[in-house]
Structure 1
Amino acid sequence: MTIHDTRLPVTPAPPRARSSLVWALTATHFVSRAGGVAGSFLVLFLTQERHLTPTTAGAVIAVIGAGTIGSQVLGGWLGDRIGRRHTMVVGFLGTAVALIALGSADTMPAVYAAAVAAGLMGDLFRPAGSAAVADLPAPERVRAFGLLFWAANLGFTVSTVAAGILVQHGYGLLFWINAAASFLAALIVWRHVPETRPPAPEASRRALLPVLLRDPVMLAMSAIHVVYFTTFLQTYSTLPLLMAGDGHAPGAYAAVLALNGIVIVVVQPPALRLLEGRDRARVLAVSMLLVGIGGGLGAVVHSGAGYAAAILVWTLGQIGVAVMFGATFADLAPADLRGRYMGAASTTWSVGAVLAPLLGTALLDHAGRSALWAACTVIGLVLFAALRALAPALRRRAPHGPEETGLI
């Protein structure tokens, strides 16, 4: 097989081909996140460079956020219809074009149109890439998903440092560099990622919704993860408000986020080896409990050391969820619906990203820190109990069959 092949064979692929696929996807995740420098300064670009009001700038960002929900669904559908590889290429190239358009738009209709395009294109690669990993044999999925998460966080760490340096040369440069990174990611996919979608006769293609509505385990896992992400994403909504209320400067919050990234980069590789092969429901249950406890701690501490301790607990839980997230949903996905199932799974993050700032800030504003602490802690306990109750059903859905011995 050469790097120009567009499909892996129906017979099981050799381990070397599967390893090459994983490393190519890992490189893609790193490049796209390391080059994602425009997002960090989008609000400042819109308010300072385009002279929009904060409210209007927030509306533009909300449009992008809403577009990502559609992007997850569309990416999953396209991944099953035109293939994982083609969907990722379309997503990265479309993102590059949308970013250039957004960086150069000088009228509000153009800004909103570019924002819609950026939202719809920006996450197409996620469910398609997840489906490609889901096409791997089940025992290899945990490690593969863990590598992608690690590479994305390493890239995010690079982008946050690089963006702070590059912005001194103007906001426009950030959009061009971000677009170039998306183009490079598309090139990596085109040259090194083979198509992994299992062949399915046209007559056997099924719609997602009827299958999904008859799958209570998938529905339950999706609901659990929406609640989890709503809690976890308090890191970016209420945590900065809590720290500011305690008199900490923005730099202290940036240091906390940097600690999160450093812990992930350092701890995840050994954590991956430790968790691989363990019961997925148990790992998810304990991890979500840790996130709930960490969120609760963040609402009651006041010192820099206290916030660092809270984020450490939070991050350990985040790592456990990230290691098992993709592999668990891949176990639930029928072979012909893997792209759409992974798209539905990814959507739980996007929905949580919408709910987190709305619910968290409202609770903090109307009930105070103690209520936020109680809510995060109780949610962690509830998620722990829910996953323990769901564990037998998840184990029954663990794949056993000839297709799990190789890519099909």
Structure 2
Amino acid sequence: MTGGAVLRSEPLPRTVRLLLLAQVVNRLGAFSLPFLTALICADHGASLATAGLVSAVFGLATIPSRLAGGGLADRIGRRTTIVLGLCGCATAQLAIAASTSLTWAVTGAVLLGLAFELYEPPSQAIIGESVPERQRVRAFSLFSAALAAGGMGAGLLAALLGHWDLRWLFVTDAATCLACALLIRLALPRDRPAPPGADQDGTAVRPLRDRALLGVLATGTAYALINQQTVMTLPLALARQGLPAAYTGLLFTAAAATTVLAQPLVRLPWATRLTTPGALALAHLLLAAGLTGYALARTLPALLASAAVWSLGDLLVMGRIYALVTDLAPPGGSGRYLAVFGTSWGIAATLAPVLGTQLLARAGTTTLWSTMAALCLLLAALHLRVTPESPGLDNVAEAVRRRVPDAA
């Protein structure tokens, strides 16, 4: 096998493949959230400040939601928790769609936040525990690709329904949540969780006392803050540069397409041989390059190239980081470990709009993206120094290193 060839991969377990399909179905409808503030302003006469506050409260609500998802996954089972979360999201979205007052709409938004992240820890735990260590990076990378593929279809549906009535966005999102819940309920086997609070050896599972996990959580939160700038602040940054708002959708589509099409890269021998700290450092160098492109680019082709480079880094991060967290967890505790790590996204969703808009308003787009790129370089250095190696995955990397010359 040559150095640039793609290693032949074992097929993923049926459970994981069904979960990936369900994620695509669910993601197809996940376009209502960006329109929450628009609906509150248009239908209920709220000010922009009020709408922004509601959005921030939603972000805060996702933090206990994520923690509850991990706890429930390890106590009542993964499948049950996923179905519960999806049905809760559907109920909240229908409440928002049917709201006749601002109070009703805000209540629906808070309930949506409390149900929104119940799905993630158990679904990630299923992936981490259903595949052998050597396949975890690939499986989590495909999970990211499923989100991206569904997101591309979601954008098209949002464009169609948004011209009709914003409330139908929430109705459609609720329908896809229920369809996903039904698929999970019928297709996934019922799992039997470990006894509450203990792993298979009877040792208490306490993620917040695991220093290795807390270190990964710290760097993961910094990454999530940067990542959210490319979602929440990018449209404002383009407008400030005098570029068409339509560019935002094109950049999001280019990023999603790159995530899907670049999946074979994670199976290249040189990528598989990288240790976890080395892979995360390389990923953040790519992220820095993409953000530098955003700082310097003034044309659509340059912006599209920057989005593609950023997405390559994002692909490496998502596959490796969730595999690392799963590997750090004791048996039966991956749901809670993934939940604690996942709070990084709730923190980012709350802080990123404030930090991004302040930088944009006070210093401009070039400084915004240059600052984010510099933070990525700092994180690349930190990963090499403080990120633990994932024992199982890095042993696999060594095994692959020995395999490659034999297959040449």
TM-score by length of 2: 0.86
1:75 aligns with 2:69: yes
Secondary structure of residue in 1 paired with 2:194: coil
Q: Which of the numbers 32, 41, 61 marks the counterpart of 2:35?
A: 41
Please say if residues 296 and 375 of structure 1, whose CA atoms lie closer than 8 Å, have aligned partners that are also in contact: no
Q: How is 1:99-110 mapped onto 2 (pairs within 5 angstroms)?
A: 99-110=93-104
Cα distance in 2 for residues equivalent to 1:32 and 1:23: 14
1:241 aligns with 2:209: no
**Shift in Å at residue 207 of structure 1?**
6.1
Distance 1:370 1:243, change over 3 A: closer
Q: Which amino acid in the other structure matches residue 126 of structure 2? A: A
Secondary structure of residue in 2 paired with 1:238: helix
**Shift in Å at residue 54 of structure 1?**
1.8
Once the two structures are superposed, residues 92-112 of structure 1 have per-residue CA deviations (whole angstroms, 9 ceiling, x without a partner) of: 111111110111111233222
Cα distance in 2 for residues equivalent to 1:318 and 1:95: 27
Q: Which amino acid in the other structure matches residue 30 of structure 1? A: V
Please say if residues 32 and 173 of structure 2, whose CA atoms lie closer than 8 Å, have aligned partners that are also in contact: yes
1:356 aligns with 2:352: yes
Please give the root-mean-square deviation of Cα atoms over the aligned residues, in Å: 2.3
Q: Give the stretch that moved more between structures: 68-77 or 271-280.
A: 271-280
Cα distance in 1 for residues equivalent to 2:246 and 2:85: 34
- Matched with 2:111 is 117
TM-score by length of 1: 0.86
**Shift in Å at residue 370 of structure 1?**
4.7
**Shift in Å at residue 84 of structure 1?**
0.7
Distance 1:156 1:369, change over 3 A: closer
1:341 aligns with 2:343: no
- Matched with 2:362 is 366
Q: How is 1:8-407 mapped onto 2 (pairs within 5 angstroms)?
A: 19-136=13-130, 137-196=132-191, 199-200=194-195, 209=206, 211-213=207-209, 215-267=210-262, 269-274=263-268, 275-276=271-272, 278-390=274-386, 393-396=388-391
**Shift in Å at residue 195 of structure 1?**
3.7
Q: Which amino acid in the other structure matches residue 90 of structure 2? A: A
> How many residues in Structure 1 have an aligned counterpart in Structure 2?
381
Cα distance in 1 for residues equivalent to 2:50 and 2:197: 46
Cα distance in 2 for residues equivalent to 1:284 and 1:202: 31
Q: Which amino acid in the other structure matches residue 108 of structure 1? A: L
Distance 1:98 1:276, change over 3 A: farther
Q: Give the stretch that moved more between structures: 159-168 or 196-205.
A: 196-205
Secondary structure of residue in 1 paired with 2:31: coil
Distance 1:364 1:202, change over 3 A: closer
Cα distance in 1 for residues equivalent to 2:394 and 2:74: 19
Cα distance in 2 for residues equivalent to 1:395 and 1:174: 41
- Structure 1 gaps of 5+ residues are 1-14, 401-408
**Shift in Å at residue 201 of structure 1?**
7.0
Cα distance in 1 for residues equivalent to 2:162 and 2:372: 36
Distance 1:206 1:73, change over 3 A: farther
Cα distance in 1 for residues equivalent to 2:320 and 2:56: 29
Distance 1:255 1:86, change over 3 A: same
Cα distance in 2 for residues equivalent to 1:186 and 1:369: 41
Once the two structures are superposed, residues 313-354 of structure 1 have per-residue CA deviations (whole angstroms, 9 ceiling, x without a partner) of: 211111111221221110111113211101012111221222
**Shift in Å at residue 398 of structure 1?**
5.3
Cα distance in 1 for residues equivalent to 2:139 and 2:228: 24
Secondary structure of residue in 2 paired with 1:176: helix
Identity of aligned residues (%): 31
Please say if residues 37 and 177 of structure 1, whose CA atoms lie closer than 8 Å, have aligned partners that are also in contact: no
Secondary structure of residue in 1 paired with 2:386: helix
**Shift in Å at residue 196 of structure 1?**
4.3
Q: Which amino acid in the other structure matches residue 71 of structure 1? A: S
Cα distance in 1 for residues equivalent to 2:171 and 2:357: 34
